[in-house]
C-alpha cells in the first residue's frame, strides 16, 4: 500500500472540492471494506483519501409514506437489512442486504460503497494487466471463467458483484449524485454501464461526483418484491447468480413485473422479455416453468459457466413461486 | 533408572516409513488394560491452554515482539518458470527505513529442496519462488521496498498440469519431470488371473484437486542472534527438524540454534520443516544486528508453502457375483509441484480390502507450481475418494449393499506387510456407524429420493498408520511443593498435547491436574521429541510421559522407604501419599519425601517403548454422511456425519471430539469447495485469498457430527495403548460424502470438489 493523505471534510462541498478529475489520485472512502483491499493489493494507489464518514447527515433511513424511501449513501448494510419498513415494503432490498458478505462486512460496508465496489474478477484482483486495468487482453476469455458473465460481456466479462444493486434495480431506485455545485437524480438503470460502453468503469459516475442518497419509490398497492441469492459457500461469498423480482398483482393476475439478475452480466441485468411476459399471467407452477424457459435466451456462456443459465432459471422459478406462495 | 537399549526403529511418518536408531526401555511398563478404571486419562478434561486462548493472553509466534525488531518481506517470482538475468536493488535500498536486502548476489549458495535448488536460485520454477528478501523498520516499508526492486527475468516455457508435464514435449523442470524418473509400484498375486475369475469388471477414472493447507496462523518466525547463537520462534510442527534445518543451512552447530514454539494456529503438514523464510530472516538479522520478524501473507501461503497434490486415478476392479474381490488395479499421477513431494495415493487401495491380486502404479510429476507438502494424511484422502467410489459402484453392480460388500472383503491381516494387526476393529466401526446414521432404515436406492431436494446416505472406510514409536522422551520434575513439571520436545499444534501430557502424569502420580505444569516446544530445554505429524504425537509421547511418571513413583517410594525405614514392598502409594501397609501411622506425602531428599527437585526421564515386532499398527474407521442435494442449484448440504473409529485409547474425549470435528469440516471443504485454481495461459494461481480459495465456514458444517470410538485401548502398542486420530478424522469424509451424493442423485461424481456447477452439469448437461 502506498502512503496517502487522509482528508476529513465536514460537508459535501468540501469533499467535492478535494476530488479531482481522474480516478487515480483522489478517492472517496466510505466503510473502506472494498477500497482498503484494493489499496493493499496496489490496484488503487491514491495520493489522497477523502473520508465520507466525517460528513454529518449521510447515514440515514427516511420513509415518506406514499412517496418514497430515502437512504443516505453512508447507511450501513446491516441497518438496511434490519429496518422494519424496508423489510415489509422494500423486501427485495432487505433480503439482498441480509445476504451481503458476512456480519462484520455488513456492519462496516455502506450502501453507497456497495454499489460502487469494483469487480471481483480474479484476474482483475490478481497481478494480471488485463483490459480493465489498461492492458491489452481479457484473460478470462481463454482462461478460467466459471464465475464470469454469460451475457452483456465483451470485451470484458466481469459480473457486477453487488447484491444491493440488483435489488435496487428491481425496485427502480434513483441515485442522487452531487458534483460540487448541484445534485442530480439518475435512474439506476442508467447508472451502470456495460464494458462495450466503458471497459474501465462499471458506472457513469465521474471522479468528482459523490452519491449522497438513494431514493426508492413507494411500491403501488399489490406490489411485492424479493431477492434470492445463490452462493457456493453459505456465507462470506458473492452471488454465483442472484435474482431480484418485483411484481404487482391484481387478484390472481400479474399486472406488471420486473426481473433483474445478478451474477450473469457486468451490470444488474434486466430481463425485458420476462418482465413483459409476466404481465397478465396467472402464476402457477407450470406457467412459471414456461415463463422462465424464455429467460436469458441471448446468453453466450464461456467455456466454464454454462451452468449459470440453468441456475438463473431455477432461481427465478423458485423466487416467483415463493412470491406467489406456491 | 530402568535399563535401556538401542534398537532400529521404523514407523510411518506422513509420507513414508522413517527408520532410525532409538533408545527404548528394555522392558515396557505394562499397559493399562482395556477397560482399566482410570481416574483422569480418558475423562473429559478442559484444555490446559484453554484460558490463555479464550482470554487472548496466549502468545503465538505471530505475536512475539522484541525490542528493536525489524520486519522482513519477500520478493517472489511473478512467473511460473524464469531465469533471473539481473537484480537491481539500488532504488529499494535508498527508501528510508530499509535496512538490508538479500538476494542470490550477496548470500551463500545454501542448498534447498534436497539439493535440487538453493535458498536463492537463479532459475525460478514456480510463481512465488523466492527472489529477494528485505528487512525494514516496518512491514509496510519492507513491502514498498519490494516494489522498487528491479528484476530482469528471462521467461521460460512452463507446464502446470501433471498429465501434460509427463509428455515428451513438455518443458523440463528438472532432468525429467517424473520424480525419481519412475513411478512407485506395488504388486501382489496374478492380476490377469484375478480379472479372469471376475464376473464383473469395472474401470473408472477419478480426479481430485490441489488443496492448500491455509492454516489460520500464517507461517512466521521471529529470529534473534545473541553472539553466534540463534533463537528462533517459529510457528512449527517440528522444533527439532526446524533446528537442524536451520543449523545445516547456516552452517552452524545445532547446539547454537534454539527453536521455541508455544502456541500455534494450525499446521496440517505445511509446517514440518525449516522454511526458507526463517533462514532468510536469520541471514538478515545477522547482517543488521537486530531481531527480525517475518510473516507470510495469504497470497504467499497459497503459492509457496505447500499443498496437497492433485490426482488422476484410473482404477479397475473385478469381483465375483458373490461379492468377492478378485483383482484391483490403481494407476495414478499427481502433481508434486516444482520440487520433490510424494503425490502417490494408492496406500489405502493396497490394504484396506481383501484382494489377492493387486497392482498399483503412482507417478509423482513435477510441474511449475508450488511444491507439495504433506497435508493431513498424504495420499489417503484422494486415494480413499477414488477407491471407495468404485467399491460402491461395484457393490451396486452386483446388487449388494455397500456395507455388506465391504464386510465380505474385510482384510483380517495386513496384506502388504503380511503381518497381523495389533488391533483391528473396523467391523465394529461399520456396525456402530451404520446404526447411528440409520443405514438400514433410511437408505434408499440411488436416485430414488423424490422432489427437488434429494437426500442420500453414503459411507467410506479409513486406514492410516498413526502408531508412532521411539525415539521420544519426556522429562518429569517433581518439585518440593509436590507439583510436577513435564518437559517434552514435542509441540502442541492446538490439538491438546499440553492437556493429555498433564493427564497421563496426573493419572500415575495421583496429583491434581492444576499441579502439573507442561513445557513443550523448546529445543533449548527439552529432550528430543518427534515432529507432530502422521498422527504420531500422542502415541509417541504419552508412553514416555507415563514411563517418566512411573519412574518417579518408584523413586518416591524408594525415598519414603529410606525415610520411614520400611521395605519398599510394604509401602503403598495412594493419592500422592506413601504409607506403610501394615502401619497406617507411618506415611509421607510426596512433598515431604522431596523435602527430605535434599535434591529439592527430583528428575526422571521416560522413554517411548519399542513397537511390538511382527505386527502392523494401523488405525481404522468408517464415516457415514447424510446429504441433501438441491437439484435446482447443485448445492450439497451436509445433514449429518457419523465418524466411527478404532483409534486405540482416547486420552481426552473433548480434544478428541475437536479433532474429529476439525478433520470432518476440512473433509467437507475438500469434498465441496476447496481448490487451487491456476490460469492455463500464464501459469499463475488465481486462488490466492480466502474468498477465491473457499474454506468452509461454520455455516457450511453439518447440523450434526457424531463421533463414536469403538476402541478402548491397543495394549500391544505401548503402555498407554494410544493410536493417533488427527489424520484418521479427515481421511474418509470426502469419499463418504461423494457416495452419499451418488445415493441422492443417482449420478456418480468422479471429480472433486463437487461444486454446484459440476452437479448441475452432471444432471442437466
Ligand atoms: C470478503 C468480501 C465478501 C463480500 N461479499 C459481498 C457480497 O456477497 N455481496 C455484496 O454485495 N458485496 C460483497 N462484498 C463487498 C462489500 O459489500 C463492499 O465492500 C461494501 O459494501 C463497500 O462499502 P464500503 O462503504 O466499505 O465502501 P468503500 O470500500 O469505502 O468504497 C468502495 C468504492 O466506492 C466508492 N464510494 C464509496 N462511497 C461512495 C459514495 N457515496 N459516492 C461515490 N463513491 C463512493 C469508493 O471510492 C470506492 O471506490 C464483499 C466484500 C468482501 C471484502
Ligand atoms: S473479465 Fe474484465 S476484469 Fe476480468 S480479466 Fe477480463 S477484462 Fe479483466
Are B484 and B559 members of one domain?
Answer: yes
In a 13 Å sphere around the CA of B678, the CA atoms on its Cβ side amount to: 27
ipTM of this complex prediction, to 2 decimal places: 0.96
For chain B, what is the mean pLDDT? 97
In-domain check, residue B564 = yes
Residue A279 has pLDDT above 80, yes or no: yes
pLDDT band at A293; cut points 50, 70, 90: confident
Q: What would the pLDDT profile of A94-153 be if each residue is shown by its tens digit?
A: 999 999 999 999 999 999 999 999 999 999 999 999 999 999 999 999 999 999 999 999
Supply the range of the domain harboring residue B716.
425-455+617-765
DSSP B421: B
Residue with cell 448541484: A182
3-state SS, residue B589: strand
Is residue B729 domain-shared with residue B645, that is, in the same domain?
A: yes
C-alpha grid cell, residue B205: 477414472
Tell me the Cα Rg of chain A: 19
Band (pLDDT 50/70/90 cuts) for residue B600 is confident
Residue B498 in grid coordinates = 499440553
Same domain, B441 and B509: no
pLDDT digits (tens, 9 = 90+) for B98-138: 999 999 999 999 999 999 999 999 999 999 999 999 999 99
Q: How far apart are CA B374 and CA B345, in angstroms?
A: 12
CB atoms within 10 A of CB B226: 10
Same domain, B603 and B625: no
Same domain? B636 vs B508: no
pLDDT digits 0-9 by tens, B13-57: 877 888 889 999 998 889 999 888 999 999 999 999 999 999 999
Chain A residues with CB-CB distance to B632 below 8 A:
311, 314-315, 317-318
Judgement on whether residues B498 and B587 belong to the same structural domain of the protein: yes
A142 contacts B697? CB cut-off 8 A: no
Query: C-alpha cell of B51?
Result: 484460558
Give yes or no for a contact between A218 and A181, defined as CB atoms under 8 angstroms apart: no
Ramachandran angles phi, psi of B654, nearest 5° = -70, -50
Tell me which of B548, B577, B607 is where a domain ends.
Answer: B607
Same-domain check for residues B485 and B552: yes
Answer yes or no: is B276 within a domain.
yes
Task: For residue B2, name the pLDDT band (cuts at 50, 70, 90).
Answer: low
Residues B480, B440 share a domain? no
Give the gyration radius of chain B's Cα atoms: 27
Asked if A235's CB is within 8 angstroms of B633's CB, the reply is no
* Beta bridge partner(s), residue B473: B607
Determine the distance separating the centroid of ligand 1 and the alpha carbon of A245, expressed in angstroms: 23
Per-residue pLDDT tens over the stretch B665-676: 999 999 999 999
d(CA B753, CA B695): 12
Distance from Cα A19 to the centre of ligand 2, integer Å = 27
Strands across the sheet with B619-630, in order? Answer: B453-464, B619-630, B635-646, B704-709
Residue B429: inside a domain: yes
**B605: buried, middle or exposed (CB in 10 Å: 19+, 13-18, 0-12)?**
middle
- Mutation to test the A interface, candidates B127, B141, B683, B691, most A Cβ within 10 Å: B691
Task: Give distance in angstroms: CA of A109 to centre of ligand 1.
Answer: 6
What residues pair up with B584 in beta bridges, in sequence order?
none
User: How would residue B598 be classed by pLDDT, with cut points 50, 70 and 90?
Assistant: confident
Q: Of B255, B276, B304, which marks where a domain is finished?
A: B304
The model's confidence at residue B329, banded by pLDDT at 50, 70 and 90, is very high
Q: Does B188 touch chain A (CB under 8 A)?
A: no
Do residues B439 and B535 both lie within one domain?
A: no
The CATH number of the domain where B451 resides is what?
A: 3.30.365.10
Distance A138 CA to ligand 2 centre (A): 5
Nine cell digits for residue A68: 418514497
B8 within domain boundaries = yes
All residues of chain A having their beta carbon less than 8 Å from the beta carbon of residue B691 are 120, 236-238
In chain B, pLDDT over 70 holds for what percent of residues?
100
- The pLDDT score that the predictor gives to residue B682 is 98
Lining residues, ligand 2, CB within 6 Å: A 119, 121, 123-124, 130-132, 138-140, 148, 156-158
- Domain-ending residue, one of B563, B581, B607: B607
pLDDT at residue B1 in the model: 47
- B662 located within any domain: yes
Report the SS3 class of residue B417: coil
Condensed to tens digits (0 to 9), the pLDDT of residues B261-307 reads: 999 999 999 999 999 999 999 999 999 999 999 999 999 999 999 99
Chain A CB contacts of B694 under 8 Å are 232-233, 237
Nearest CA in chain B to A124: B686
CA distance B542 to B533: 15
Residue B587 burial (10 A CB sphere; 0-12, 13-18, 19+):
middle
Tell me the per-residue pLDDT of B62-106, one tens digit each, with 9 for 90 and over.
Answer: 999 999 999 999 999 999 999 999 999 999 999 999 999 999 999
B599 band by pLDDT with thresholds 50, 70 and 90: confident
pLDDT score of B319 more than 70: yes
Of chain B, the percentage scoring pLDDT greater than 90 comes to 96
Domain presence at residue B366: no
- Considering the domain architecture, whether residues B99 and B246 belong to the same structural domain is answered as yes
Say whether both B440 and B569 belong to one domain: no
Show me where the domains of chain A are located. Answer: 5-54
In sequence order, what DSSP letters do the residues of B332-373 get, joined into one string? EEEEEESS-------HHHHHSB--SSEEEEEEEEE-SSPPP-
Euclidean distance between CA atoms A195 and A200, whole angstroms: 7
Q: Is the CB of A73 under 6 A from ligand 1?
A: yes
Q: Which residues pair with B337 in a beta bridge?
A: B366
Rounded Cα gap, residues B471 and B10, in angstroms: 10
Q: Which ligand is the nearest neighbour of the Cα of A145? A: 2
The number of the ligand nearest the C-alpha atom of A195 reads: 2
Q: Is the dihedral of CA B671, B672, B674, B675 positive or negative?
A: positive
Determine the average pLDDT of the residues in B368-395. 98
Asked if residue B527 is part of any domain, the answer here is: yes
Q: Residue A311 and residue B144: Cβ atoms within 8 Å?
A: no
B191 assigned to some structural domain: no
Statement to judge: residues B545 and B621 lie in one domain: no
CA distance A124 to A157: 11
The answer to pTM > 0.80 is yes
Count of domains for chain B:
3
Strands in chain A per DSSP E? 5-7, 26-29, 48-51, 61-64, 68-72, 174-178, 183-187, 210-217, 223-230, 241-250, 253-262, 269-270
Helix (H) or strand (E) holding B226: strand B220-226
Q: What is the domain class of A5-54 according to CATH?
A: alpha beta
Amino acid at each position: 500500500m502506498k502512503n496517502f493523505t487522509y482528508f476529513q471534510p465536514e460537508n459535501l462541498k468540501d469533499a467535492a472540492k478535494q476530488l479531482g478529475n481522474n480516478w487515480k489520485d483522489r478517492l472517496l472512502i466510505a466503510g473502506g471494506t472494498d477500497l482498503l483491499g484494493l489499496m493493499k493489493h496496489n490496484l488503487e494507489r491514491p495520493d489522497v483519501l477523502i473520508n465520507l464518514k466525517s460528513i454529518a447527515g449521510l447515514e440515514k433511513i427516511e420513509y415518506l409514506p406514499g412517496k418514497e424511501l430515502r437512504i443516505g449513501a453512508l447507511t450501513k448494510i446491516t441497518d438496511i437489512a434490519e429496518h422494519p419498513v424496508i423489510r415489509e415494503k422494500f423486501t427485495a432490498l432487505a433480503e439482498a442486504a441480509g445476504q451481503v458478505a458476512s456480519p462484520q462486512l455488513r456492519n462496516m460496508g455502506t450502501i453507497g460503497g456497495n454499489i460502487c465496489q469494483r469487480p471481483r474478477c480474479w484476474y482483475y484482483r490478481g497481478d494480471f494487466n488485463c483490459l480493465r486495468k489498461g492492458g491489452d487482453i481479457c484473460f478470462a476469455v481463454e482462461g478460467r471463467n466459471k464465475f464470469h458473465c454469460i451475457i452483456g460481456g465483451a470485451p470484458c466479462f466481469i459480473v457486477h458483484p453487488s447484491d444491493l444493486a440488483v435489488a435496487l434495480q428491481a425496485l427502480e431506485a434513483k441515485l442522487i449524485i452531487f458534483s460540487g455545485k448541484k445534485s442530480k437524480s439518475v435512474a439506476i438503470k442508467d447508472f451502470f454501464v456495460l464494458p462495450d460502453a466503458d471497459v474501465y468503469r462499471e458506472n457513469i459516475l465521474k471522479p468528482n461526483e459523490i452519491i449522497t442518497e438513494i431514493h426508492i419509490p413507494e411500491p403501488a398497492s399489490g406490489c411485492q418484491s424479493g431477492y434470492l441469492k445463490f452462493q457456493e459457500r453459505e456465507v462470506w461469498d458473492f452471488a454465483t447468480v442472484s435474482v431480484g423480482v418485483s411484481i404487482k398483482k391484481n387478484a390472481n393476475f400479474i399486472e406488471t413485473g420486473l426481473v433483474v439478475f445478478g451474477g450473469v452480466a457486468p451490470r444488474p441485468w434486466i430481463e425485458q422479455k420476462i418482465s413483459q411476459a409476466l404481465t397478465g399471467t396467472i402464476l402457477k407452477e407450470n406457467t412459471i416453468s414456461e415463463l422462465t424457459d424464455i429467460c436469458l435466451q441471448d446468453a453466450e456462456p464461456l467455456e466454464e459457466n454454462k451452468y449459470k443459465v440453468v441456475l438463473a432459471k431455477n432461481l427465478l422459478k423458485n423466487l416467483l413461486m415463493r412470491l406467489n406462495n406456491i | 533408572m530402568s535399563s535401556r537399549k538401542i534398537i532400529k526403529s521404523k514407523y510411518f511418518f506422513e509420507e513414508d516409513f522413517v527408520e532410525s536408531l532409538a533408545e527404548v526401555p528394555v522392558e515396557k511398563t505394562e499397559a493399562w488394560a482395556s477397560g482399566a478404571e482410570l481416574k483422569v486419562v480418558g475423562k473429559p478434561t478442559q484444555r490446559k491452554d484453554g484460558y490463555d486462548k479464550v482470554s487472548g493472553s496466549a502468545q503465538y509466534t505471530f505475536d512475539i515482539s522484541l525490542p528493536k525488531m525489524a520486519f522482513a518481506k519477500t520478493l517472489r517470482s511473478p512467473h511460473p518458470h524464469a531465469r533471473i538475468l539481473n537484480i537491481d536493488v539500488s532504488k529499494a535500498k535508498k527508501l528510508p527505513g530499509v535496512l538490508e536486502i538479500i538476494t542470490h548476489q550477496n548470500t551463500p549458495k545454501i542448498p534447498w529442496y534436497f539439493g535440487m535448488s538453493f535458498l536463492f536460485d537463479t532459475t525460478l520454477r514456480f510463481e512465488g519462488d523466492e527472489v529477494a528478501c528485505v528487512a525494514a523498520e516496518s512491514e509496510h516499508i519492507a513491502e514498498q521496498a519490494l516494489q522498487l526492486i528491479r528484476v530482469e527475468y528471462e521467461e521460460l516455457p512452463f507446464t502446470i498440469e501433471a498429465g501434460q508435464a509427463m509428455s515428451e514435449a513438455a518443458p523440463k523442470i528438472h532432468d525429467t519431470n517424473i520424480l525419481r524418473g519412475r513411478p512407485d509400484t506395488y504388486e501382489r498375486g496374478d492380476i490377469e488371473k484375478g480379472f479372469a475369475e471376475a464376473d464383473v469388471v469395472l474401470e473408472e477414472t477419478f480426479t481430485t484437486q490441489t488443496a492448500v493447507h491455509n492454516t489460520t496462523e500464517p507461517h512466521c518466525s521471529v529470529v534473534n542472534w545473541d553472539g553466534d547463537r540463534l533463537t528462533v520462534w517459529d510457528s512449527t510442527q517440528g522444533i527439532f527438524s526446524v533446528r537442524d534445518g536451520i543449523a545445516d543451512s547456516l552452517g552452524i552447530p545445532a547446539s547454537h540454534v534454539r527453536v521455541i514454539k508455544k502456541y500455534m494456529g494450525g499446521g496440517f503438514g505445511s509446517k514440518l520443516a525449516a522454511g526458507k523464510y526463517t533462514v532468510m530472516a536469520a541471514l538478515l538479522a545477522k547482517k543488521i544486528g537486530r531481531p527480525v520478524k517475518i510473516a507470510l501473507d495469504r497470497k504467499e501461503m497459497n503459492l509457496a508453502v505447500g499443498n496437497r497434490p492433485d490426482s488422476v486415478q484410473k482404477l479397475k476392479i473385478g469381483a465375483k457375483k458373490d461379492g468377492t474381490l478378485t483383482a484391483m488395479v490403481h494407476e495414478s499421477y499427481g502433481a508434486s509441484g516444482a520440487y520433490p513431494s510424494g503425490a502417490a495415493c494408492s496406500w489405502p487401495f493396497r490394504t484396506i480390502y481383501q484382494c489377492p491380486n493387486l497392482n498399483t502404479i503412482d507417478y509423482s510429476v513435477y510441474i511449475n507450481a508450488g511444491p507439495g507438502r504433506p497435508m493431513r494424511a498424504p495420499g489417503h484422502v484422494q486415494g480413499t475418494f477414488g477407491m471407495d467410489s468404485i467399491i460402491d459402484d461395484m457393490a451396486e453392480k452386483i446388487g449388494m449393499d455397500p456395507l455388506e460388500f465391504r464386510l465380505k472383503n474385510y482384510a483380517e491381516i495386513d496384506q502388504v506387510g503380511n503381518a497381523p494387526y495389533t488391533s483391528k476393529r473396523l467391523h465394529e466401526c461399520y456396525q456402530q456407524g451404520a446404526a447411528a446414521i440409520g443405514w438400514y432404515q433410511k437408505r434408499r436406492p440411488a436416485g430414488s429420493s423424490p422432489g427437488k431436494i434429494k437426500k442420500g446416505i453414503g459411507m467410506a472406510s479409513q486406514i492410516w498408520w498413526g502408531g508412532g514409536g521411539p525415539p521420544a522422551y519426556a522429562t518429569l520434575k517433581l518439585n518440593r511443593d509436590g507439583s510436577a513439571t513435564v518437559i517434552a520436545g514435542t509441540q502442541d499444534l492446538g490439538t491438546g498435547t499440553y492437556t493429555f501430557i498433564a493427564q497421563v502424569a496426573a493419572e500415575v502420580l495421583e496429583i491434581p491436574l492444576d499441579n502439573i505444569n507442561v513445557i513443550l516446544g523448546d529445543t533449548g530445554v527439552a529432550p528430543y521429541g518427534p515432529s507432530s505429524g502422521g498422527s504420531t504425537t500422542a502415541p509417541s509421547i504419552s508412553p514416555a510421559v507415563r514411563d517418566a511418571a512411573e519412574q518417579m513413583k518408584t523413586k518416591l517410594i524408594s525415598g519414603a522407604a529410606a525415610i520411614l525405614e520400611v521395605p519398599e514392598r510394604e509401602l503403598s502409594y495412594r493419592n500422592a501419599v506413601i504409607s506403610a501397609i501394615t502401619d497406617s501411622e507411618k506415611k509421607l506425602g510426596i512433598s515431604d519425601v522431596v523435602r527430605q531428599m535434599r535434591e529439592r527437585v527430583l528428575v526422571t526421564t521416560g522413554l517411548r517403548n519399542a513397537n511390538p515386532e511382527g505386527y502392523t499398527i494401523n488405525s481404522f474407521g468408517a464415516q457415514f454422511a447424510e446429504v441433501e442435494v438441491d437439484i435446482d442449484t447443485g448445492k450439497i448440504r451436509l445433514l449429518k456425519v457419523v465418524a466411527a473409529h478404532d483409534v486405540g485409547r482416547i486420552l481426552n474425549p473433548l480434544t478428541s471430539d475437536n479433532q474429529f470435528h476439525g478433520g470432518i469440516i476440512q473433509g467437507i471443504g475438500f469434498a465441496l469447495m476447496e481448490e487451487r485454481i491456476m490460469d492455463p495461459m500464464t501459469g499463475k494461481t488465481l486462488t490466492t485469498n480466502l474468498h477465491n480459495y473457499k474454506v468452509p465456514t461454520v455455516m457450511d458444517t453439518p447440523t450434526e457430527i457424531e463421533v463414536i470410538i469403538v476402541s478402548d485401548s491397543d495394549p500391544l502398542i505401548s503402555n498407554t495403548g494410544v493410536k493417533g486420530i488427527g489424520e484418521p478424522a479427515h481421511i474418509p469424509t470426502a469419499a463418504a460424502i461423494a457416495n452419499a451424493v451418488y445415493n441422492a442423485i443417482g449420478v456418480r461424481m468422479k471429480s472433486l470438489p463437487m461444486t454446484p456447477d459440476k452437479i448441475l452439469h452432471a444432471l442437466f448437461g
